[in-house]
Amino acid sequence: DLPLVIIAGPCQLEDRDHALMMSEAIREIGRRLDVPVIYKTSYDKANRTSLKGRRGLGLEKSLAIFDEIRRDIGLPVLTDVHSEAQCAEVAPHVDVLQIPAFLCRQTDLLLAAGETGCAINVKKGQFLAPWDMVNVVDKIRSTGNGNVSVCERGASFGYNTLVTDFRSLPIMAEQTGCPVVFDATHSVQQPGGQGGSSGGDRRFVPCLARAAAAVGVAAIFMETHQDPDHAPSDGPNMVPLDQLEGLIATLKRFDGLAKSL
Amino acid sequence: DLPLVIIAGPCQLEDRDHALMMSEAIREIGRRLDVPVIYKTSYDKANRTSLKGRRGLGLEKSLAIFDEIRRDIGLPVLTDVHSEAQCAEVAPHVDVLQIPAFLCRQTDLLLAAGETGCAINVKKGQFLAPWDMVNVVDKIRSTGNGNVSVCERGASFGYNTLVTDFRSLPIMAEQTGCPVVFDATHSVQQPGGQGGSSGGDRRFVPCLARAAAAVGVAAIFMETHQDPDHAPSDGPNMVPLDQLEGLIATLKRFDGLAKSL
Amino acid sequence: DLPLVIIAGPCQLEDRDHALMMSEAIREIGRRLDVPVIYKTSYDKANRTSLKGRRGLGLEKSLAIFDEIRRDIGLPVLTDVHSEAQCAEVAPHVDVLQIPAFLCRQTDLLLAAGETGCAINVKKGQFLAPWDMVNVVDKIRSTGNGNVSVCERGASFGYNTLVTDFRSLPIMAEQTGCPVVFDATHSVQQPGGQGGSSGGDRRFVPCLARAAAAVGVAAIFMETHQDPDHAPSDGPNMVPLDQLEGLIATLKRFDGLAKSL
Amino acid sequence: DLPLVIIAGPCQLEDRDHALMMSEAIREIGRRLDVPVIYKTSYDKANRTSLKGRRGLGLEKSLAIFDEIRRDIGLPVLTDVHSEAQCAEVAPHVDVLQIPAFLCRQTDLLLAAGETGCAINVKKGQFLAPWDMVNVVDKIRSTGNGNVSVCERGASFGYNTLVTDFRSLPIMAEQTGCPVVFDATHSVQQPGGQGGSSGGDRRFVPCLARAAAAVGVAAIFMETHQDPDHAPSDGPNMVPLDQLEGLIATLKRFDGLAKSL
């Protein structure tokens, strides 16, 4: 029942200046609200809906920027990995390795991530039941790495739609024993919903995030951008940066109430 | 943004003594917590999974008991109706007529209920999208009766399973303009999940009810029983009466926070 | 393993002339193809999406037209009933009483239909699993009426979408022992998909109907209209009358193959 | 409208003797029925539900066996790849590279597979709509490789359950212009349905395969094993080898009818 952690950042690492601007802004929000913050950023969007979607700055150029954010901005960094080889290369430069939802059953990736000793946040696949995550976590733990969190980001519900089953939060907590993260922005995604890219509806982020805080979670994950309508990916579901502070303040209050009971 | 109302009671009207015992106990909880309470009871379970399921005391015997609860216990009463003819007969004896989820598109039932002038709580069918409820509400309003609330009670999610999409609460509120009720016990039902009867998992009632209160609703509906494991219907998902007060106290706090923001 | 029966007709009984024109055209198709045909028509669409949708000619005016179709056109007639009272009134004028999907768990309706002694076709609710139909059939059989068929018409799949699980055909056949009907036109419905009315995509009717015939069914149900785009209900999913004969000819061949194996 | 191709083989390459026995038996079935056959086998099951599941013989040992099956048994070979690096290594030893469903949006894997020039069979993710496959195919085609087929293997339907939407076959054919394959054995899988492994129900394989042949497909994919109940993976849904010939004979007849219309 530790206080709520916020994992926030833009969907992709666009360039160094943008990363420093965003991470500094998010750090200041965390300071003002006295909420621990982890900076989320992706060096590569490896599974864009279409080939035309921008993928991010790439691995080589990003690692130095991760170092800079950790050292100069002072925020821990979370990023996602997509292959076994990337795990060992990326781990020294981040605080949390994240396993993408589509890849959450790829055994070798889970093992390679686990073997880095880094903290791991693994997203529940849109095609998995909450109780299926026990097997996913056990794969990582088999490496001796017990520093694992599990993340709800919506389940397939018909076509191009996700639904969040909030029962999954206590089920995953109880069955895996891991801290549970709720990804409030991908949960409002409409996968492939715009033909060549994913849609979403950011208006529902506060609704789902409040619900998660009231149920009780270790962390809430939200992508944010200073100009979501022009962001290179996931714009429809990102929280505008200028609304982030108010939302986190609200979530902190729900978290405080939930954990006081 | 009125304070949270609780709609609570056993799934069915078993007999007069039971009804008086339950309604008095629920009234006292409401008084102690200063929470407005409506007593829910059903004179007939018209759509039991199997013919062997008990259906309740029946219409004729129940009306006098409804009167007694209203007059002597002092609680408003909500009950569900299943045919046009029942609406006018039942309305004088209750405060709220409820339209069951399976029947929420039966035009004549909606019109007959509306024409009584009674308050109407209409449950969203497990087969409907939240935005579909506009048409349902418009049918009732066409009678000149604007005293309508809409109720989320889960959406079909594969077989024998429901999922609650909490986006439906703000969507229904915005699109219908009606107060929104969340039915926390039927939402954890597993329809037909026990072969000859429905299953459910009452452990998740507090989880979903807290989520609903944090999102913001007018009322939370919960079935309760002093001995759910021996109740004639919906036992697996009813809240034990001795846990009801603690749960409502929690929900009141989430509601207070949600409505203070 | 009797040869395939076709249940066909317009969604609603629009007027006497239309009914006689449609039933005669369908009778001729059946004669030319040597396929037994049952004429489907509805005197009342009791659960239209919106109040503005036309509901049909009404019960009183329709019964004489049913008689005329049976006597003069020579086709058996199937129609749906929506309340207990309608069952006994309608039964003498038709060959098959149909229970609508939304009403398939309304015990009193099932019993009243069963008690007429008429053949009953009961549609599986969009919210039911195939194995749940055993309980539905048992309710009807409790009246001593064993002349029951069960009908697949799609299961809820996210919002405003149905999916046909073809495993349901053998499951229902085995578990209920009843003839199984496949409703090929409602299975392509998009419930509520046009806001104030249901959408659908008739292009997929032949695809699903062929699949059903190959799996093996007793009957295929298809709504048809000489001008679906101007029909008062279910236009998007009805088969144009001028395509019906070709489609039935195809289905007869798949049925012949399926039942020869 | 070429005649139906069958893709068949055991879920995993267990050892050389087993592979030769199975491929020879399948070749003989194909010869007797005059049906073109592709041998399916996997050197690595990279996404088993649990770490305890056996994964297959491994890449290095398998390539020589693939060569032997192609050269000595005379069957084309299909296998699945899980990383960019594997594509170029495996391609010279097989006729078809298969992209697993969970990986169907991993851009780099699709590009690496495409660049081999090998034929590609890409499975539709359980979390994708049929129309989403256009973007998947376009990624592969961007490499100049147009030899792509798309494969339906079920869509997520609640938890631990898949449903086959047969509308996806014509939708994918029309929108991608690719030959469409139906995977009849994974479509009856119950993912994670046995806790530490996936369940399934092979009784429904013929039902779904017949439906697919009647709708019209280029190929049907079925895993088969001489003793499915003791197979190291996917046993619950594999077709027993001694039932395969009868099933293919049936499917050939449905395919012949479908393509004659």
| C250 touching chain B per CB within 8 A | no
Return the residue of C nearest to B195 by Cα.
Answer: C132
Percent of chain D with pLDDT over 90: 90
| Partner-chain contact C257 D254, CB within 8 Å | yes
Give me the pLDDT at residue D1, please: 83
A100 in Cβ contact with A121 (< 8 Å): no
pLDDT tens sequence across A130-145: 999 999 999 999 999 9
Percent of chain A with pLDDT over 70: 100
| Partner-chain contact C204 D170, CB within 8 Å | yes
Task: Return mean pLDDT, chain D.
Answer: 96
DSSP for chain C, written as a single string: -PPPEEEEE-SS---HHHHHHHHHHHHHHHHHHT--EEEE--S--TT-SSTTS---S-HHHHHHHHHHIIIII---EEEE--SHHHHHHHGGG-SEEEE-GGGTT-HHHHHHHHHT--EEEEEPPTT--GGGHHHHHHHHHTTT---EEEEE--EE-SSS-EE--TTHHHHHHHHH-S-EEEETTGGGEETTTTSSS-EE-GGGHHHHHHHHHHH--SEEEEEEESSGGG-SSSGGGSEEHHHHHHHHHHHHHHHHHHHH-
Q: Which one of D165, D167, D257 has the shortest CB-CB distance to C254?
A: D257
| D205-215 vs D241-260: helix crossing angle, rounded to 10 | 20
| Partner-chain contact D51 A127, CB within 8 Å | no
Mean pLDDT of C217-237: 95
Instruction: Spell out the residues 6+ positions from residue B68 whose beta carbon is closer than 8 angstroms to its own.
Output: B16, B20
Better pLDDT: B233 or D183 = D183
Residue reference for tokens 């907590």: A173
From the CA of C165, how many Å to the nearest CA of chain B?
A: 11
Instruction: Spell out the residues 6+ positions from residue B42 whose beta carbon is closer than 8 angstroms to its own.
Output: B11, B12, B13, B56, B79, B80
**pLDDT greater than 80 at residue B34:** yes
**Do strands C77-80 and C37-40 pair parallel, antiparallel, or not at all (unpaired)?**
parallel
Give me the pLDDT at residue C139, please: 97
* pLDDT band with cut points at 50, 70 and 90 for residue D90: very high
From the CA of B189, how many Å to the nearest CA of chain D?
A: 14
Pick the residue of B159, B162, B165 with the most A CBs within 10 A to test the interface with A by mutation.
B165
DSSP for B56-111, written as a single string: -S-HHHHHHHHHHIIIII---EEEE--SHHHHHHHGGG-SEEEE-GGGTT-HHHHH
From the CA of D95, how many Å to the nearest CA of chain B?
A: 37
From the CA of C180, how many Å to the nearest CA of chain B?
A: 19
Give me the pLDDT at residue B198, please: 83
Burial class (CB in 10 A: 0-12, 13-18, 19+), C68: middle
Neighbour subunits, D (≥3 Cβ pairs < 8 A):
A, B, C
- Residue C54 has phi, psi (to 5 degrees) of -70, 145
| A103 touching chain D per CB within 8 A | yes
B200 in Cβ contact with B234 (< 8 Å): yes
Give me the pLDDT at residue B48, please: 86
Residues of A in contact with B208 (CB under 8 A): 166-167
**pLDDT greater than 90 at residue B187:** yes
pLDDT tens sequence across B195-217: 888 888 999 999 999 999 999 99
pLDDT tens sequence across C2-16: 999 999 999 999 999
Give me the pLDDT at residue D152, please: 98
C170 in Cβ contact with C143 (< 8 Å): no
Give me the pLDDT at residue A126, please: 98
Pick the residue of A210, A237, A255, A260 with the most B CBs within 10 A to test the interface with B by mutation.
A210
**pLDDT greater than 90 at residue C86:** yes
* pLDDT band with cut points at 50, 70 and 90 for residue C53: confident
> How many CB atoms lie under 10 A from the CB of residue D92?
11
A192 in Cβ contact with B186 (< 8 Å): no
Give me the pLDDT at residue B130, please: 97
Residues of D in contact with B159 (CB under 8 A): 157-158, 161
Separation of alpha carbons C123 and C154, rounded Å: 10
Nearest to B104 by CA among B138, B142, B78: B138
| D131 touching chain A per CB within 8 A | yes
Percent of chain A with pLDDT over 90: 90
Residue reference for tokens 């709220």: B96
Among D residues 155-184, those touching chain A with beta carbons less than 8 Å apart: 155-156, 159-160
* pLDDT band with cut points at 50, 70 and 90 for residue B27: very high
Q: Which one of B166, B250, B257 has the shortest CB-CB distance to A166?
A: B166
Better pLDDT: D1 or B35 = B35
pLDDT tens sequence across D1-29: 899 999 999 999 999 999 999 999 999 99
Separation of alpha carbons B244 and B226, rounded Å: 10
| Partner-chain contact A49 D139, CB within 8 Å | no
Mean pLDDT of C19-41: 98
**pLDDT greater than 80 at residue D226:** yes
The rounded radius of gyration (Å) of the Cα atoms in chain B is: 17
Residues of C in contact with B191 (CB under 8 A): 127-128, 132
3-class SS of residue A216: coil
| C102 touching chain B per CB within 8 A | yes
pLDDT tens sequence across C88-142: 999 999 999 999 999 999 999 999 999 999 999 999 999 999 999 999 999 999 9
* pLDDT band with cut points at 50, 70 and 90 for residue B46: confident
| C103 touching chain B per CB within 8 A | yes
Question: Which token pair is C239?
Answer: 């088969």
Give me the pLDDT at residue A198, please: 83
3-class SS of residue A30: helix
Neighbour subunits, C (≥3 Cβ pairs < 8 A):
A, B, D
C45 in Cβ contact with B108 (< 8 Å): no
Return the residue of D nearest to B160 by Cα.
Answer: D158
Give me the pLDDT at residue B160, please: 95
From the CA of C173, how many Å to the nearest CA of chain D?
A: 13
- H or E segment and range at residue A119: strand A119-123
Return the residue of C nearest to D207 by Cα.
Answer: C215
| Partner-chain contact D159 B159, CB within 8 Å | no
From the CA of D193, how many Å to the nearest CA of chain A?
A: 9
B183 in Cβ contact with B209 (< 8 Å): no
Neighbour subunits, A (≥3 Cβ pairs < 8 A):
B, C, D
| A144 touching chain D per CB within 8 A | no
Mean pLDDT of B238-255: 98
* pLDDT band with cut points at 50, 70 and 90 for residue D137: very high
Task: Return mean pLDDT, chain B.
Answer: 96
A190 in Cβ contact with A201 (< 8 Å): yes
Return the residue of D nearest to A131 by Cα.
Answer: D195
Percent of chain C with pLDDT over 90: 90
| C59-68 vs C16-33: helix crossing angle, rounded to 10 | 40
Task: Return mean pLDDT, chain A.
Answer: 96
What region, left, alpha or beta, does residue A160 occupy, with left being phi > 0 and alpha being psi -120 to 50 degrees? left
For residue C154, the Cα-to-chain-centroid distance in whole angstroms is 12
pLDDT tens sequence across A184-206: 999 999 988 788 888 889 999 99
Give me the pLDDT at residue B83, please: 94
pLDDT tens sequence across D33-70: 999 999 999 999 888 888 888 888 999 999 999 999 99
A96 strand-pairing partners: A78, A119
| Partner-chain contact C159 A159, CB within 8 Å | no
B/e letters for C179-193, b = 16+ CB within 10 Å, e = fewer, are bbbbbbbbbbbbbbb
Separation of alpha carbons D136 and D143, rounded Å: 12
Return the residue of A nearest to D81 by Cα.
Answer: A106
Half-sphere exposure of D228 (CA within 13 A, CB side): 24
Burial class (CB in 10 A: 0-12, 13-18, 19+), B242: exposed
* pLDDT band with cut points at 50, 70 and 90 for residue C184: very high
User: What is this structure's pTM?
Assistant: 0.96
> How many CB atoms lie under 10 A from the CB of residue C159?
23
| C71 touching chain A per CB within 8 A | no
From the CA of D196, how many Å to the nearest CA of chain B?
A: 21
Separation of alpha carbons A90 and A78, rounded Å: 10
Pick the residue of D162, D220, D257 with the most C CBs within 10 A to test the interface with C by mutation.
D257
pLDDT tens sequence across D167-196: 999 999 999 999 999 999 999 999 887 888
Burial class (CB in 10 A: 0-12, 13-18, 19+), C229: exposed
Separation of alpha carbons B24 and B17, rounded Å: 11
Return the residue of B nearest to D161 by Cα.
Answer: B158
Give me the pLDDT at residue D193, please: 77
* pLDDT band with cut points at 50, 70 and 90 for residue B182: very high
Return the residue of C nearest to B198 by Cα.
Answer: C132
Give me the pLDDT at residue C50, please: 87
Q: Which one of C211, C254, C261 has the shortest CB-CB distance to D250?
A: C261
Which DSSP letter does residue A95 get? S
From the CA of D23, how many Å to the nearest CA of chain A?
A: 28
Question: Which token pair is A132?
Answer: 């299926």
B104 in Cβ contact with C18 (< 8 Å): no
From the CA of A156, how many Å to the nearest CA of chain C?
A: 8
Separation of alpha carbons D184 and D205, rounded Å: 6
ipTM: 0.96
Give me the pLDDT at residue C51, please: 85
Q: What is the mean pLDDT of each run of 10 residues along chain A (261 residues)?
A: 96 95 98 98 89 88 97 98 96 98 97 98 98 97 98 97 98 98 96 83 96 98 96 92 98 98 91
